[in-house]
Amino acid sequence: MLFLQYTLLGLILGGVYGIAASGLVLTYTTSGIFNFAHGAIAMLSAYIYWQFRVGWHWPAPLALIVVLFVFAPLLGVILDVGIMRGLRNTSEITKITVTIALTIGAVPLANWIWNPLTPRRLDYFFGSDNSVSIFGSRVTYHEFIALGCALVIALGLRFLFTRSYIGVAMRGVVDDPDLLRLNGGKPLRLATFSWALGAFLAALAGILITPILGGSLDPNQLTLLVIDAFAAAVFGRLRSVPLTFAGAIVIGLADNYVVGYLGDSPLVSHFRESLSMILLFIALLLLPSARLRGTSLVRARERFAVPSVRQAVLWGVILIVGMVLLRETHGSHGAQRHEHRAGVSP
């Protein structure tokens, strides 16, 4: 009976991992860029949803619509048009470094906007009391929704890539953009659409997984969701949506089995945190063909535009002002931590 309970909960968790991983596969398949900022998008979207739903008391449906269909896709479009489009002719290392930089910058940005000393929680959809019992395990409506979303997205993306014209054209953006253009396709527009859709999937995963993991919003935990998604995406060789979801289910099941059968000792807790990296390492060993493909096979031609003096001065001033603001924010947070530890109200 316990095995069935752990299996059911593992399927739910794996389904959410699959949603996040499918966004990575979608972005990479259609743009040739592995987006390490995927977890940062999920984190910022979860915080924005909390702000609308809890901070400003918006109805949950309205908050979801704004975050999933406005904020997240718009963020994906901005990242592609404003940043990644200018890196089309650069090397894979350059593209990956930029996405890692975006990830690193997203965490202090979230801490700057939302004070990390103030606890923030996201509750289950329909509350934690609305649930049913399956195999003796209480499953909330929220978890059912998460599992249903995973199934719908898996089938939808499979149909998109294999049965629709736009899906074939999206894959052609990386394989041969010139040939796609000759056949009437618009590579830049399709790549932007894939980034918007990938950001939507990241936002959905971030909102769904936060209550399942305990409800507390943590910038680092949500940002590192990309590691679990990366491990699942490698199972799918960065191309196959069904294999990606299968890998996500394996990760979700393994996570719950470790907790259920090995207990919650510090050693087990550290092992659980490293589980995704261990499975990722195994997948890379067993699936050598899962290495990044596409633009890495083409000799990159780095072309950087030299800024004018006016542009250099302007961006220098922006950098200095930004660093001063970050320093002041860090100083105020440090003072609040000191007062909190001393027992003084901030």
Q: What is the pLDDT of residues 322-337, one digit of tens each?
A: 777 776 665 555 555 4
The pLDDT value recorded for residue 298 is 44
- To the nearest whole percent, how much of the chain has pLDDT over 90? 21
Q: What is the pTM of this model?
A: 0.79
- To the nearest whole percent, how much of the chain has pLDDT over 70? 79
Mean pLDDT, rounded, of the chain? 79
The token duo for 16 is: 């959410």
The token duo for 231 is: 């491990």
DSSP H or E stretch at residue 37: none
The token duo for 4 is: 């069935």
DSSP H or E stretch at residue 139: strand 137-140
Place of tokens 């507390």: 216
Distance CA 260, CA 3 (A): 9
- Selecting from 1.10.150, 1.10.8, 1.10.3120, 1.10.3470, what CATH number does the domain 2-304 have? 1.10.3470
Q: Are 107 and 230 in contact (CB under 8 A)?
A: no
Angle between helical axes of 241-262 and 266-286 (0-180°, round to 10): 150
**CB count, 10 Å around CB of 279?**
20
Q: Are 108 and 326 in contact (CB under 8 A)?
A: yes
> Which amino acid is present at 287?
L
List, for residues 265-289, the tens digit of each pLDDT value.
Answer: 777 777 777 777 777 777 766 665 5
For strands 131-134 and 137-140, give the pairing: antiparallel
Distance CA 148, CA 208 (A): 11
Distance CA 340, CA 164 (A): 57
Beta bridge partners of 131: 140
List, for residues 161-175, the tens digit of each pLDDT value.
Answer: 777 777 667 666 555
- Least confident span in 51-55, 179-183, 211-215, 311-315: 179-183
Q: What are phi and psi of 202, to 5 degrees?
A: -65, -45
- pLDDT over 70 (residue 244): yes
Residue ranges in the chain assigned as alpha helix (H): 2-31, 38-50, 60-66, 72-82, 92-113, 141-163, 165-175, 177-182, 187-212, 219-223, 225-235, 241-262, 266-286, 309-342
Q: What is the CA radius of gyration of the chain?
A: 21
Beta bridge partners of 216: 121
- pLDDT over 60 (residue 339): no
